[in-house]
Structure 1
Amino acid sequence: MFAFMKLEISDWKLIPYAEAWSRQTEWFDALVRAKQEGAEYVNHIVLCEHPHVYTLGRSGKEGNMLLGDEQLRRIGATLYHIDRGGDITYHGPGQLVCYPILNLEEFSLGLKEYVHLLEEAVIRVCASYGIAAGRLAKATGVWLEGETPRARKICAIGVRSSHFVTMHGLALNVNTDLRYFSYINPCGFIDKGVTSLQKELGHEVPMEEVKERLIACLQELDIVSASV
C-alpha cells in the first residue's frame, strides 16, 4: 500500500541539461527511497527546454556522434553520457522535453505500457494539429509515415526505471532547429529523418500551447490526475 498519490507539474523553462539531470535525479532517488521506507512522496512531471546538447544512452554507440569535441564547441553544443535507455539524441531550444518521475505501481503500469502511453500522448498532441503520427515497429518514439521511405521522427523517448520508478522521458520537436540532428545518427538510425511540428505545419507553434495540450493528453490517459 502506498502512502499517498501526489503529483506536481513543474515548468523549468530553458534550463542547462546538467542542472535538469541533477534535479530530476534528486527527485528520482527520493521517490525510490520513500517507497522502500513506506514514506510519503511526490510524483513529478517536469516540462522544460535545454540549450543545445546531445545525450548518449547506456546502449548508445559512440560512432553515432559525428563530431569531435572542438566541432561541438563550434556549434555551441555539449555531449553527456547518461543513464537512460536508447542511443543518441539531441535537445535544444524549441524542443519540448517532458520528464515524468513517477511510481509506476501507483498507476498499475509496467514499463512497456508506460512507454506506450507516452507515445500515445504525443500521437494525440500531433493529431490535435492535424498531423497523423504513429509508432514504428522496434523503434521507440513517435513517427510520421513510419513504414515508408519518408519515415521521420518527431518525438524521441528514452527512460530509466528502478524499483518501478521512472525518470527521463520524451522530447517532442516543436520549433526545433533540425540542423543539429545532422551531426548525429539520431537514435542510431542512418536511413530515417527527423521533423518538427513547425516543419510539418509550415509555421512556428506556440510552445505554451503545446505544453497545455501534452498535459491534457496525459490527463486523458490517466498519467496526470485531472485534479492536479
Structure 2
Amino acid sequence: MTPENAVPPLIRRLGRIDYTTTFERMRAFTDARDDDTPDEIWLLEHPPVFTQGQAGKPEHLLMPGDIPVVQSDRGGQVTYHGPGQLVVYFLIDLKRRGYGIRSLVTHIEQSMVALLADYGIRAYADPEAPGVYVDDAGGRRMKIGSLGLRVRHARTYHGLSLNVAMDLEPFSRINPCGYQGLRMTQLADLGGPASVEAAGEALLRHLLVHLGYDAVHTHD
C-alpha cells in the first residue's frame, strides 16, 4: 500500500439525522473534495423514510402511508430507513484506493458477512442481487443488509443499511429493493446485539480491515 492511498478515513458518528439533510451533505462533500481530501465514513440512523433509487420503479412502492418518500440518486430500487437500523455512508475516492465499484461492493458485503459470523449468524452475498442475506430454518431467504452507491468523478457516496433492532413493518409497504415478497430480518431477532451503536462499532472494525485502511481519524 502506498502512502497516498493509505491516508486514513475520517469517521463521523452522526446519530439520528434527517435523510434529505444527509443526502445534500454527501453530494456537497463529493463535489467539493479534491485529490487530497481524506475519505470519510459516516455512521448514523435516519427517521422513518422510504428512499427511491435512481432507476426506481413506482410500482414497487405499494402503500407508503404516512412515511415520506424521497427520490435519491443512489443505485437500486426502493428501500426503507428507520430508527434501529444502522446506516453507513462511504465517501471514498475509488481511483486513489485502486478500487472498481464492483470490488468496493464486494468488500462492503464481506464486512457485513464477517460481522454476522461474529454473532454465529451464517450470512451470504448474492452477486445478482447486492446485499446480505440469511436463510430461515426452511431455507427461505431473508435480507438483513442492503447496499446502494453512487459514483461521481470516481468518488462514491451513499452506502449500506443493516437492520439491527427496528420496526420491520414498513418493509411490507414496499417491494424491498424491487423484489416482491422478499422478507426482511434483523440482528436482534437472530441473536445479535440490539444496539445500533454496538453493531456500528463492530462493523466499522471489519470495514476498515476489508477496505485496507491502516488507521482512522475519528470525529463525532
* Both proteins in one fold, TM over 0.5: yes
- C-alpha displacement at 1:222, in angstroms? 3.2
**Aligned partner letter, 2:63:** L
**Cα distance in structure 1, aligned partners of 2:170 and 2:150:** 24
Q: Distance in 1 between matches of 2:148 and 2:98?
A: 20
Corresponding residue SS for 2:130: strand
Q: Match for 2:211: what amino acid? A: D
Cα distance in 2, alignment partners of residues 45 and 12 from structure 1: 10
User: What is the percentage of aligned positions where both structures have the same residue?
Assistant: 34
Q: What is the CA-CA distance between 1:9 and the residue it aligns to?
A: 0.3
Q: 1:99 aligns with which of 89, 97, 114?
A: 89
Residues 3 and 181 of structure 1: is their aligned pair in 2 closer, same or farther, counting only changes over 3 Å?
A: closer
Classify 1:205/1:223 alpha carbon distance in 2 versus 1 (closer, same or farther; 3 Å).
Answer: farther
The one-letter amino acid paired with 1:180 is P
Are the aligned partners of 2:145 and 2:163 in contact in 1 as well (CA < 8 Å)? yes
Equivalent in the alignment of 1:199? 189
C-alpha displacement at 1:191, in angstroms? 3.3
What's the secondary structure of 1:5's corresponding residue?
A: coil
**Residue of structure 1 equivalent to 2:10:** 8
Mapped to 1, the partners of 2:91 and 2:99 lie a distance apart of 14
1:112 corresponding residue in structure 2: 102
* Matched AA of 2:150: R
- Supply the distance in 2 between the matched residues of 1:97 and 1:225 (Cα, whole angstroms): 22
Deviations along 1:33-75, one digit per CA (max 9) or x if unpaired, are x13xxxx21211000000000000011110111126xx2x2xx
Aligned partner of 1:216 in structure 2 is: 205
Q: How many residues align?
A: 214
Partners in 2 of 1:97 and 1:107 — Cα distance? 22
Q: What is the SS of the residue equivalent to 2:131?
A: strand
- State the AA in 1 paired with 2:62: L
1:195 Cα deviation (Å)?
Answer: 0.5
Q: Structure 2 matches for 1:53-68, cutoff 5 A? A: 53-67=49-63
Equivalents in 2 of 1:108, 1:125: separation in Å?
A: 24
Where does structure 2 lack aligned partners over 5 or more consecutive residues? Answer: none
SS at match of 1:139: coil
Higher relative contact order (CA 8 A, sep 6+): 2
Per the TM alignment, residue 152 of structure 1 is displaced from its structure 2 partner at its CA by 0.6
Q: Which runs of 5+ in 1 are unaligned?
A: none
Which of the residues 10, 22, 31 maps onto 2:24?
Answer: 22
Shift of 1:160: 0.2
Change (3 A) 1:100 1:221: same
Q: TM-score, normalised by structure 1?
A: 0.87
2:40 corresponds in structure 1 to: 44
Distance 1:190 1:3 in 2: 41
1:114-133, Cα deviation, whole Å (9 max, x unpaired)? 00011011111111111000
More helix by share: 1
**TM-score, normalising length from structure 2?**
0.90
CA distance in 1, matches of 2:104, 2:159: 10
Q: For residues 165 and 29 of structure 1, what CA distance do their matches in structure 2 show? A: 9
